[in-house]
Every structure is written in structure tokens, then in C-alpha cells.
Structure 1
């Protein structure tokens, strides 16, 4: 019987169940069991073809078909059947082996063929390829959501490319930018972070109990087992790791998690900046009349999508950082600490997906308040001090910076005050006229062009 989401201990499977649905078939307990079944069946098929001298390697059509079906898509009740076996023998991977043997036996496989199931394998041969395949598939699912985010950011950057905005450095008024350019900054950062994450090489090992093909060589010493194993791993779309202990050392998972955490940091920064722009009134949120913003203050329209995203990104990164630091460490030839940790990979990726979807909702609700942007700029004529002092420098006038520091620092400056100051500068009349025509709204450099080029 399916559990009620209201009874879930984790919000990933409770409150946010719908948001994480795309990952559930991959990174749930059932997803892991099904992937282990696939790997066991794939190894039988590969071994039978690669080492045909093994007794039982010639598979009758019905057995071949059943093995191929298990390798492609195990039956709907497969995970439950494996769990029933595990409850009896208290070993999760051995339970998968027994399930596969039962399935093949039912299809007519004889004893020699059944003995090829899990041949030469340790549990970690099955596990490391299962997790590698699952994390590769999960990355594809997640990257599609990142693509949607990237397109949303790109659209906003172009839409507001020319929307002049007062910058704030150290929280204080600074040289103007455009809202589109600030969004383009995040689009560029996300693009780089996404590229780094999607390029992490996914490795696999298939070399027995301690990484030396001990059992393989004992059985058939003249077979090139490293070559057989390498072809098998690479046939899964994975990179071959020849040097391991009992476990694939998980360095690549550390890189994968670290790169994903770095990407999430970019998005945390984005959430906080957009939260701030909403607070300043630079961005307005579309109002849903049916929603309630506060249980006591009826007027509230809170930036909850950005807050929700930030919170979930923080939880994801706490786990991802732990994975990247813990998983590459294992005592001697292996300990079991990685097993329980890896079972939480889906939790971290789930919180990332929840956050990204929440962020996408938030981005879809915002619009620039151009009047509010302009009003702030009109009160910040002092930011043109940078332009004036740089023109003085370009004209070879000594002490330009010091003149503007004395004139602007800590003082309220308006258009008339600045114009009077410019009239007294030792510059050609044309340069003085050009500076007097400059307004904070115009002083955006190449921001609009850069936003459109992002």
C-alpha cells in the first residue's frame, strides 16, 4: 500500500512530493533495486558473449529474452520481490542475485547458466555501476530543469537590458548598471557552473573483491579479465577505473557533488539579490488573488519562492558537501560507511530540484518597476562623481579624484549642484557641456549591450 505523503518523515517525499517526482524512479530504494537488477542481467549477457567457453554461456532464446528484459525494464513487482528475499537473508545485493536467478530459472535456465549470475562479482561491482548509471540519468533530468532556469534568466536579461538601476556596493549607492545586466551576470555564472557539473566524468569499476580480479584469475587464468571488465563498464557509457580497492573510490561522486554545490551557491546568491530587489521595490511580484501572504497582515506579498529556494539549496549543499568530503574516504580496502551515505544522494538532489523549481516560479512572477528604478537614480547624482573625475584624468587635469572626493563624499548632490561644480572645472567647453548633459539614468556604460550579448 502506498504511504500517505502526510506521513512522510522527509518533505522530499511529503510536502514536495510532486516536485521531486522525476527523481523518484531513479534515486528511491526501488530505483536502486531495479538498477541493480539491470546491472546483474547486463553482466550475464556480456560475460556469456565475452567468455563463451564458460559452461552455460550459450543462452537458450527464452533465457536470453528474459535476461534482456531484466536488463531493460524489470517487472513492476521486482523491487518488492527483492525486498522479500532480503528480509529472509539480510543482504540487499545478494537478494538481487537470487531474484535474477529465480527469473532466469523460470525461463528455463539450467544450473551452469545460473552460476554465471554474479560471476566474479562483489556487491560493490553491482553497486558502483548502479549508482553511476543512476546519477548519470539524474543529471540528465536535473539539467533539463537548469536549462529552463537558464532560458528564464536569459529572457529577463534581454527584457530589462536597458532598465537603468542604481548599483549598491557595500550597501551604498554606486555607479549605475541595468537590471538586465545584473541578471545577465547570474546567467553567465550559471552557464559556467552548469558546464563544470555536466562535464564531471562518471567512473565505474568491475574488478572483484579487492580490485585485483583474484577470483576471475583463479577460475580462468588465461582470460584477459581487465579487458573484459573494461568493455563492460564502457558499454554502460561510463569511464573505466582500473585502480580501486573493493569499492570504486567515489572521487568522481565527490567532484559531482562539489560541482553541484558550487552551482547551488550561485543560485543562493541570485535568490538573495532578487529578494533584495523585491524589498527595494525594483521588482514587483505578480499577485495571485487566491493566495494569502500573511496570517495577520493582509497587505503582504512575500518573496516566498526565493526564500523557499534559498532554504532548500542550503539543505542540499549541507548534504552535498558532506558527500564530497566523506565518500572518497574508506578504511583500508573498504568499510561500509559509504553505503548509508550514498542512500541519501537522492535527498540532496531532491532538495536541489525543489529549489530550482521554486526559483523558476519566482522568476516567472517578477516584473521591473521602472518608475521605482528611475526614482532612486534621480536621488543619486553623486554617483556621477566617478564619471567626472575620470574625464578630468583623461584630460590630464591633476587631482581629479581628490576634487570629486571633497565635493561629493557624504554630501547630498543634485543636478543643479553638480552642474555648477562642472562649470568651474578646467575643461574645454564641449567637455563641460557633455558632462552636464549626463544623468544617472544615462551613466550605464555598456551595461545594456552586455546584457543583450549574454
Structure 2
């Protein structure tokens, strides 16, 4: 008999299998949904952005002639320099990794990676200009800001807009479908299915507008934010203005006052907004799941797909369940990042360094959830007849309308309208009433003819107020 130890020794180590097997689900099972983030928030993307920032700073210094003896770069040299980050691929990733294995410092490795190329560009004498007057965080904060901005604007926001657009289409389909409300889980004043979904469209849209207006801050002011090295080298230069113009050329907002690090407050603001969007979307998923469970939505089967491994009749609402879980994981990370990144011991500690390496994972779980919700919405069919039957079984919800009309009649001087709430409570609470019983009750009230006619014309399906109009007005 083989012992457990022997079996462990004989087992293939999956960590050694080629190509490499991903440890996490985002880079494994769900990579197709999250792969676009790799171009902005992976380690390789961070290094490419560092090269981009270093190269642009090099060009900026030459363009502004901030040091005596700096030549003006030719257009060809500028193009060649900018080709360095643009051509950053697998070979360059491996090369940079080999340099870092020696330097044991990621930003220093980027500096050497660039200086190694200057001779081939006819710029060997300008090697000292690479990383000039910079601390690592001058490069890092700008590189992260560029990556986060591009990930949000080019990946997360398009995915969120696509999902909200799909949700708006569902509102269009269901705007006029009367539906029994349930407040506290109990039958309540009817609405329309579309109006309830429109509430989420409206809420999510508001969060999107906040995120679309997000500022991405950057700084370039040296080891403790004082421009000390800059002034030592070129005291006559207006270094704050030079730094501001450079940061703004990168498409970022200049932060004029920092310690060694950019304070990351903008990141905390962004992550709070994304997390709030996630929480609203989580609520939508719970509601859609619940509507599916009571039959208000039918799920359109996907050809060849299995719902349950043992119960062939089932189509499980897995898209919304998957989204719930991933939104929760995303928010756990976003909340942690928002809390961690705004604090630093004195002028600098490294807690932010480890934290920021998880930004891609935090946004990745949100992007995965967005993908699942979008797919799930496309597989929903409104079961109007089930919703209508539910309404028809709950005529007692018209009690609100009747007692409110009685109050209005009392104010208008119609006799016999006393205690309207109590009388409707006695009629409806704890028991079901049908159309006939309600009509009989209304007939005996002594209402004005117009009010009686209005109430007798009401049905649960007609008692939806402005729900359909509100759904159409606020679903875009």
C-alpha cells in the first residue's frame, strides 16, 4: 500500500508545469473577462509605464533646457526614445527582469534598461539625464496614476456602461409591466417591473458620472517633496512649474505639496466610488436573483449548457451569483486599499508599495462581475403572466387607495368618511379580499360619484401611479 508521503513525493508539482498555471482565478479560469486589465495594471504594465515616464521626463528636461549644456533633441531622437516603451514586449520584460535580479530594485532596473539603449540612439553622453533628480516615488506615483486612469477609462468604465445599457434595455421592455411590490417582504402598492429596474439604472448612472469625473494626481518633487536636489543642480530653474507642466503633459492633475509619496487620496476617492457602484450592483443582483426565484423572470437556456449536475429541469441563476461573490471580493480589496493608502509613516513607508500591486485584482473582480451581469441580463425573459397572476391574487393592496380617497373626501366635506385607515385595516389586514368584496365596500361608503367611479375602475394592475412614466424618464 502506497503511503500518503510517498504519494505526495510521486505527485507532479503543478507549479513546475509549462506553460505556467495561474494561482488566481482572474489569471486562470476567468482570464478572458479580465485580460484587458493586464495591459494597464500588471507588473509588466507598471514597468512599461515607468519606462514611459522616465523617457518623457528625459524629453521634457531637454525641451525646457533646464540644465546648461543640454542639447535640443531632434524629432527622430524623440521618436526613437518613445519607441522604447512602445516596443516593450516579452523580450524586454525578460531583459528588465534580469537587470532587476542584480539591482534588487525595480525602478533602478528601469533606469539601467533605458541607459543601455541611449548609445544606440546617439545619446550616450546624456545617460546622467535618465532619472535626473528623481526619487523612485516620482516615477512610481506617475506610473500608477497613468495605469489606473487607463484601466478605469479604457476597461472598467466601458464594461460598466455596457452593463448599464443592457439594464436600460430591460427597463424599456418592462416599463409598463404591472407588478406587485413587496415592502418588508409583504404585498404592497403595485409598481411596474421596469420602474424598479430603472431605480438601479438611475443609481448606477449617478456613480458612473462621479467616476468619469475622477482626478488622477501626480507629483515630481524629489525625495521628501522639497525639490532639494533639483535646486542644488539648477537653482535658477522654476522647478515647481517644470514639474507641473510635466505631470499635466502626462494627462494627470498636479499635486503641489507632498512628502516623498503622492498621498494617494485620489485613489481612496476612486475606490470608494467604485465600491459604492459595486454595492448598488450587488443589490441589483440580489433582487434579480429573487425575482427569478419567484418566477417573475424566466432564464433563457443556453444551448448545451448544464444547470444542475443531477436535476435536468434547473437553469441556475449563476451569472448573478458569480457577480455577487466577485463584487464582495472586489469591495474587500477596494476598502482595504482606500484605508491603507491614505496613511504613511512620516515622509514614507512601504505599505503602499505592496498594497498598490493589488489594484488590478480589485478592479478585476469588479470587471468579472460586470461581465457576468451583462451576460445574465441577456438571458432573462419577463414572465408577464406570472407577474399578473401575483397581482390578481392581492386585491387588498387597493386598501391604500381607498382610505386615501376617503381622506380627500372628508376634507371636501363628504359625510361618513371618518376613520378611513382603521376601517380598511379591519377589512384587509390578515385576510385576502377580492374584486367583488372591495367593490361592495366602496359602494357602501357614500363617496361622491366621481370618487366612487375612480375607485371602482381601479385594479391592482392599474394601481401603478406614474411608475411607467418614471421608468422611461429616468432609465437613460
User: TM-score, normalised to structure 2's length?
Assistant: 0.92
- Where do 1:350-361 residues align within 5 Å? 350-361=364-375
Of 459, 463, 466, the match for 1:446: 466
1:194 is the counterpart of 2:194: no
- Deviates most, 416-425 or 184-193: 416-425
1:254 is the counterpart of 2:268: yes
- Deviates most, 161-170 or 66-75: 66-75
Residues in 2 aligned to 1:100 and 1:121: alpha-carbon distance in whole angstroms: 15
Answer whether contact 2:306 2:312 (CA < 8 A) is retained. yes
Of 230, 236, 257, the match for 2:244: 230
Match of 2:150 in 1: 137
Shift of 1:57: 3.7
Of 219, 224, 236, the match for 2:233: 219
1:427 is the counterpart of 2:427: no
Of 132, 135, 140, the match for 1:119: 132
- Where do 1:88-99 residues align within 5 Å? 88-99=102-113
Match of 1:37 in 2: 51
Answer whether contact 2:264 2:342 (CA < 8 A) is retained. yes
Shift of 1:50: 1.2
1:404 is the counterpart of 2:424: yes
- Deviates most, 281-290 or 76-85: 76-85
Residues in 2 aligned to 1:440 and 1:84: alpha-carbon distance in whole angstroms: 72
What CA deviation, in whole Å up to 9, does each residue of 1:307-346 have, x standing for no partner?
Answer: 0011101100000000111101110000011001100000
> Gapped runs of 5+ residues in structure 1?
none
Give the secondary structure class of the aligned counterpart of 1:244. coil
Residues in 2 aligned to 1:373 and 1:357: alpha-carbon distance in whole angstroms: 28
Residues in 2 aligned to 1:221 and 1:119: alpha-carbon distance in whole angstroms: 15
Match of 2:307 in 1: 293
| Count of residue pairs the alignment pairs up | 452
- Deviates most, 420-429 or 374-383: 420-429
- Where do 1:383-394 residues align within 5 Å? 383-394=397-408
Shift of 1:433: 2.6
Answer whether contact 1:42 1:71 (CA < 8 A) is retained. no
- Deviates most, 395-404 or 238-247: 395-404
Change (3 A) 1:273 1:76: same
Residues in 2 aligned to 1:330 and 1:55: alpha-carbon distance in whole angstroms: 39
Answer whether contact 1:180 1:448 (CA < 8 A) is retained. yes
Answer whether contact 2:63 2:73 (CA < 8 A) is retained. no
Answer whether contact 1:6 1:14 (CA < 8 A) is retained. no
Residues in 2 aligned to 1:232 and 1:16: alpha-carbon distance in whole angstroms: 38
Residues in 1 aligned to 2:170 and 2:366: alpha-carbon distance in whole angstroms: 22
- Where do 1:137-286 residues align within 5 Å? 137-140=150-153, 141-286=155-300
- Where do 1:39-58 residues align within 5 Å? 39-58=53-72
- Where do 1:280-359 residues align within 5 Å? 280-359=294-373
Residues in 1 aligned to 2:18 and 2:435: alpha-carbon distance in whole angstroms: 64
Residues in 2 aligned to 1:206 and 1:298: alpha-carbon distance in whole angstroms: 61
1:368 is the counterpart of 2:382: yes
Shift of 1:37: 0.5
Change (3 A) 1:41 1:75: farther
Residues in 2 aligned to 1:61 and 1:107: alpha-carbon distance in whole angstroms: 12
Residues in 1 aligned to 2:217 and 2:451: alpha-carbon distance in whole angstroms: 63
Residues in 2 aligned to 1:402 and 1:81: alpha-carbon distance in whole angstroms: 81
Answer whether contact 1:315 1:351 (CA < 8 A) is retained. yes
Change (3 A) 1:6 1:94: closer
Give the secondary structure class of the aligned counterpart of 1:77. helix
Match of 1:9 in 2: 23
User: TM-score, normalised to structure 1's length?
Assistant: 0.97
Answer whether contact 1:5 1:17 (CA < 8 A) is retained. no
Give the secondary structure class of the aligned counterpart of 2:129. coil
Shift of 1:62: 5.6
Match of 2:457 in 1: 437
Give the secondary structure class of the aligned counterpart of 2:460. coil
Residues in 2 aligned to 1:389 and 1:197: alpha-carbon distance in whole angstroms: 45
What CA deviation, in whole Å up to 9, does each residue of 1:225-265 have, x standing for no partner?
Answer: 00000000011111110110000010000001111000001
Residues in 1 aligned to 2:439 and 2:164: alpha-carbon distance in whole angstroms: 43
What CA deviation, in whole Å up to 9, does each residue of 1:342-378 have, x standing for no partner?
Answer: 0000001111110000000000000110100000001
Residues in 2 aligned to 1:76 and 1:5: alpha-carbon distance in whole angstroms: 14
Change (3 A) 1:6 1:290: farther
Answer whether contact 1:44 1:116 (CA < 8 A) is retained. yes
> Gapped runs of 5+ residues in structure 2?
1-15, 411-416
Shift of 1:85: 0.3
Residues in 1 aligned to 2:202 and 2:385: alpha-carbon distance in whole angstroms: 27
